[in-house]
């Protein structure tokens, strides 16, 4: 897997999923050249979706994309059984791959992680993207474990690496040929320089064209041009995590009249102080007009 894969938001309206808005957002991303989308990940507020909503959002994403780009369905869980069921559902409705987060709260050992991901890999035929984000899950998927999983299971092809430790990325790419996608927007260029293949991005929800250009330049070795775009977007990249994701990206999308809609508790509206910072950054980036 290679390129830009926005981790899409799940729009909510009047307490329910706003499927018309979801479709509009997906088509916007396709029109701007992304390689694929990631549905029902952390940015899609998967923890607060019901099981039925989770399935329906995946199905709607697959139907909307209609084969134009790849659909990576978030189907991870801290229950192996539930992750298998969601992954099998994603495969059945036509998703191209699944995104599997390391089990959160349980804090499994590396041996437990091998068995967890192995059981899921044996239950489906489509590619698996491992998702390592220790800041959210309290467990790090170690490079040796990634190497083992890549070599043992043919459908484990990619890792979304959101551990900010670039030494870990170096260890991964030097130990095996698994595809590495950045899980942190601001580390996309460094990770590509180490051999990464692209990014699963939050900010690309609103600037997909710029992200595609940046990643394309980087993959072609044109780092001067890629760095120009990176520097232009850097402030916005940082602001996407000034409060818990997806609070900032949904706030930005609503400011830009994109259908992001509500947040679900326990996530809540962005603070006024941070909202003003975000508004200023959007104006500075040329995405929002300054109020008269």
Mean pLDDT within 155-176: 94
- Does the pLDDT at position 292 exceed 80? no
Note the pLDDT tens digit of each residue in 84-98. 999 999 999 999 999
CA dihedral angle for residue 121, residue 126, residue 130, residue 131, rounded to 10 degrees = -130
Annotated binding site for pyruvate: 43, 200
* pTM of the complete model: 0.94
Cβ atoms of residues 222 and 193 within 8 Å: no
Note the pLDDT tens digit of each residue in 18-27. 999 999 999 9
How sure is the predictor about 136, in pLDDT bands with cuts at 50, 70 and 90?
A: confident
- Does the pLDDT at position 291 exceed 80? no
Please confirm, yes or no, whether 291 is among the known catalytic residues.
Answer: no
Annotated binding site: 43, 200
Note the pLDDT tens digit of each residue in 73-87. 999 999 999 999 999
Q: Which of 70, 114, 131, 197 is catalytic?
A: 131
d(C-alpha 74, C-alpha 9), whole Å: 12
d(C-alpha 240, C-alpha 220), whole Å: 27
Note the pLDDT tens digit of each residue in 35-62. 999 999 999 999 999 999 999 999 999 9
Q: Taking Cα atoms as reference points, which of 44, 55, 54 lies closest to residue 6? A: 44
Q: Which of 60, 114, 160, 275 is catalytic?
A: 160
Mean pLDDT within 213-237: 96
Please confirm, yes or no, whether 104 is among the known catalytic residues.
Answer: no
- Domain architecture of the chain: domains with CATH: 3-218 (3.20.20.70)
Note the pLDDT tens digit of each residue in 229-258. 999 999 999 999 999 999 999 999 999 999
């Amino acid at each position: 897997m290679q390129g830009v894969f926005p981790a899409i938001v799940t729009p909510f309206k009047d307490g329910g999923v706003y499927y018309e808005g979801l479709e509009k957002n997906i088509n916007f991303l396709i029109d701007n050249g992304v390689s694929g989308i990631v549905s029902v990940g952390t940015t899609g507020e998967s923890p607060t979706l019901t099981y039925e909503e989770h399935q329906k959002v995946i199905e709607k994403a697959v139907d909307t994309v209609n084969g134009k780009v790849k659909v990576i369905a978030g189907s991870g869980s801290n229950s192996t059984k539930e992750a298998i069921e969601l992954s099998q559902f994603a495969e059945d409705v036509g998703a191209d791959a699944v995104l599997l987060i390391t089990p959160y709260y349980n804090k499994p050992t590396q041996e437990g992680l091998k068995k967890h991901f192995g059981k899921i890999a044996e239950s489906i035929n489509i590619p698996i993207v491992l998702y390592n984000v220790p800041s959210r899950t309290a467990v790090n998927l170690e490079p040796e474990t990634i190497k083992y999983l890549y070599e043992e299971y043919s459908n484990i092809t990619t890792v979304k690496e959101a551990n900010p430790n670039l030494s870990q990325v170096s260890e991964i790419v030097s130990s095996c040929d698994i595809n590495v996608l950045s899980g942190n927007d601001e580390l996309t260029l460094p990770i590509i320089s180490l051999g990464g293949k692209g990014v699963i991005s939050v900010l690309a929800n609103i600037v997909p064209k710029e992200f595609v250009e940046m990643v394309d330049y980087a993959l072609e070795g044109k780092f001067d041009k890629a760095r120009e775009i990176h520097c232009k977007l850097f402030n916005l990249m940082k602001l996407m995590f000034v409060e818990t994701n997806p609070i900032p990206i949904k706030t930005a999308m609503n400011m830009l009249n994109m259908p992001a809609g509500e947040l679900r508790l326990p996530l809540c509206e962005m603070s006024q102080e941070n909202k003003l910072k975000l508004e200023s950054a959007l104006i500075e980036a040329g995405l929002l007009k300054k109020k008269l």
